[in-house]
Chain A
Amino acid sequence: MARLALRRARAEARAAERVMGDVETLRSARRAYLLAAVLGAASLPMVLLYLLLVLSSFADTIVTGPDILEARYSLDNWLMFFRGEVAPAAGRLYTTADILATIANTAIVALGVTAVVVFTSVLAGYAFSRMRFRWRRGLMTFIILLHAFPGVALIIAVYAMYVWSSMPLARSEGAMVAYAFAFTVLARASLELPMSIWLMKGFFDRIPWEVEWSALIDGASRLRAWWQIVLPQVKPGIAALAIFAFLAGWEDLIYVHVFLYIGTAGKVKTLATLIEELTANIETSYLPVVAAAGTLYLLPTILFFVLTQKLLLEAYSGGLKA
């Protein structure tokens, strides 16, 4: 009985929606497709930009559009890239090991940023969502405000701190490099913190208090209730956060440029600084190979993108629910 009534109610709701659809939509579906076509045309240059980069990575020249069909395509650029022949005119500057190390460095930074951001924001987001402490509101306001502070102002002083604090390590190159990595990761992760904490707070806010109280009444300590009951329910949120943090660490240019590249006098490169360096030396670089490097660098971004588009848009607008 009840189920039947429910089904009927649902059918009615659907019918109502249909009727509304008939009245309010663009008068016809054709108009919607027309708009889509217009928007598609507007988006075309951007698509073209990405497409040309990817095509160039397989071509014997930088593909510029009109010559898409004239260029010859092969895997040569990619092979040259992985062999380290990225600047043929200057001779063989890199080895395969260098290239792999560069990729690994990029991944280390990205994963490091992910780990730090997830660890700290999940903890702090919970505290801001659920716990009582003095200055709670003020502290959250302050943290959000930090997001607005000019990055340049920070990085000058952070680098000064880096130079000063790494002085004792100057004699050991290994320690120096490790320190540079740690500094890059922590500094870059901190940049993501304000928005990440805010995002996580939003995810925790959505869990009913009663569920957490239930756990306490069942005999769990606050910590255990958090770990066993609350955390599993924000897994999707943590996943979103992790993806954002990874992309942030992966795409970064300024921090790896300052701390890893300048900080180690060019010894530790990531894909970003490698591309920077190669393009800066345009006289000796072979641009299609640089395009291959760029495409490789772009790959994880696109991948995450396709996999998580809905999540991405939601989380991105999740910061404000007016």
Chain B
Amino acid sequence: MRPRVNPALFFLLPALTLIAVFYVVPLALSIYIGFTPLRNWNIAGGYLSQVTLENYERLFHMVMYDPDIGKVVATTVVFTVVTLAVNVLGGLALALTMYLMDLSGRELSLGFRTLWMLPRMTPIAVYSLMWYYFFLPGEEGILNSIAMRLGLIDEPVNWGNDPDLLPYGAWAILVVVNGLVGVSFGMVVFYAALRSIPREQIVAARVDGASTLHLVLYILIPQLRWHITYVTVWQLLSLLTTYAHIFLLVEWGAVDEFWGSNWALYVFNKAFALGESDQGLAAAAATILVLIGAGLGVLALRLMGFGRMMAEPRGEV
């Protein structure tokens, strides 16, 4: 037999090329840039040949002593933890409600499930725009307008920037905006899991006289334990690295620049700021995220039971 190229290569080549060019090379490059003093995208300026630890030293120094970076770190922690809780618990609440609704035999939940997917699919610029209108500082802001009409406040409030409300105002906005996007993931996973629970179990519980609350606490939620862990890990990973939905709110001034930025957005803005930009520092800061992300990613894959989903191909043709 003449040796021949595995035909799988032909099928894999386009994807592998893209992955090499847009993941592998950039990842390595990004880590490398973190060790160079690259600034203002001056690629040709010779910065790329100077290897230094300076960025990490600066980063360490900033985290320790720069109050603005302190704000960013605090925001990252609070934003991630609170939004995660909102996502997981919210997703669970939504899924349970929808599941219980559907137990009556009517598919009442389809419309709702679709509706709650909407924030995730909405163009980010439009989604940001809607929240921008919502939290607009003046009287024409939706929240201000409603609150004033209800007599809750006398004057329009600058929700994301008012020093009296900081940092909680900005944080609340971040959590609401991102929480609504993330909640659908848990919802979909939990709902699918609930639907796969054999109906006999529920009949049996009902026959035994379980109330709906008992049903939820002792039959349904215990069976979701694995899914809850999985969603938590995966969502934690997403929240650590997300910045797109916050980006415009900060740019448009809807929230405070530092109390409204998480680590990822700070990195992005450091690299792509219109005036002075500092890619070396940004890349170093990003590398820290990469390390955390890789760890969480491996954990998530473990939880996914990835191995079981990769059956060996059959036949030898």
Contact = CB atoms under 8 A, between A and B. Distances in A.
- Check whether chain A touches chain B (CB < 8 angstroms): yes
B101 interface: yes
B313 A161 contact: no
B48 to A, nearest CB: 9
Contacts of B56: none
Contacts of A94: none
Interface stretch (B64-72, B79-87, B103-111, B164-172): B103-111
Chain B interface main SS type: helix
A9 interface: no
Nearest to B16: A124
A251 B124 contact: yes
Given A35-B97, A197-B15, A282-B252, A301 B130 contact: no
A123 B15 contact: yes
27 contacts: A26-B212, A43-B112, A46-B118, A46-B180, A56-B133, A65-B146, A123-B15, A132-B8, A132-B313, A133-B12, A136-B310, A145-B294, A145-B298, A148-B294, A149-B23, A151-B264, A153-B286, A155-B271, A156-B282, A157-B30, A186-B22, A191-B22, A272-B125, A276-B125, A297-B126, A301-B123, A305-B114
Interface of A: 20-21, 23-26, 28-29, 31-33, 35-36, 38-40, 43, 46-47, 49-50, 52-53, 56, 61-62, 64-67, 116, 119-121, 123-124, 126-127, 129-133, 136-137, 140-141, 143-161, 163-164, 167, 186-187, 189-191, 193, 197, 205, 209, 213, 216, 222-223, 247, 250-254, 257-258, 262, 271-273, 275-276, 279-280, 282, 287, 290-291, 294, 297-298, 301-302, 304-306, 309-310, 312-313, 316-317, 320-322
B267 interface: yes
Contacts of A275: 125-126, 129
Contacts of A152: 241, 243, 264, 267-268, 271, 282, 286, 289
Contact of A157 (B8, B146, B283): B283
Interface residues of B, number: 124
Contact of B14 (A123, A287, A301): A123
Contact of A253 (B28, B124, B304, B307): B124
A309 B110 contact: yes
B23 A298 contact: no
B317 A213 contact: yes
B29 A157 contact: yes
Contact of B27 (A120, A153, A189, A191): A153
Interface string B1-37: 0000011111111111011011101111110010000
B207 A23 contact: yes
A190 B110 contact: no
A213 B19 contact: no
Nearest to B44: A167
A279 B206 contact: no
A312 B126 CA distance: 21
B38 interface: yes
Contact of B123 (A67, A133, A154, A298): A298
Interface string B135-172: 01000111011100100000000000000000000000
Given A25-B104, A152-B267, A312 B117 contact: yes
A39 B110 CA distance: 12
A158 B26 CA distance: 6
Contacts, number: 350
B251 interface: yes
Given A258-B272, A272-B124, A153 B283 contact: yes
Of the candidates A39, A66, A145, A163, the one having the most CB atoms from chain B within 10 angstroms of its own CB is A39
Contacts of B264: 150-152
Given A39-B112, A152-B241, A159-B41, 7 more contacts: A26-B212, A62-B140, A152-B286, A157-B28, A191-B22, A254-B124, A317-B192
Contacts of B131: 49
B294 to A, nearest CB: 7
Given A35-B97, A120-B15, A279 B268 contact: no
A190 B7 contact: no
B251 A160 contact: no
Given A124-B15, A156-B286, A276 B30 contact: no
A312 to B, nearest CB: 6
B189 to A, nearest CB: 6
Given A21-B105, A150-B240, A322-B227, A156 B119 contact: no
Contact of A120 (B18, B128, B272): B18
A149 B240 CA distance: 10
Contact of A145 (B26, B244, B268, B301): B301
Given A149-B27, A152-B286, A35 B43 contact: no
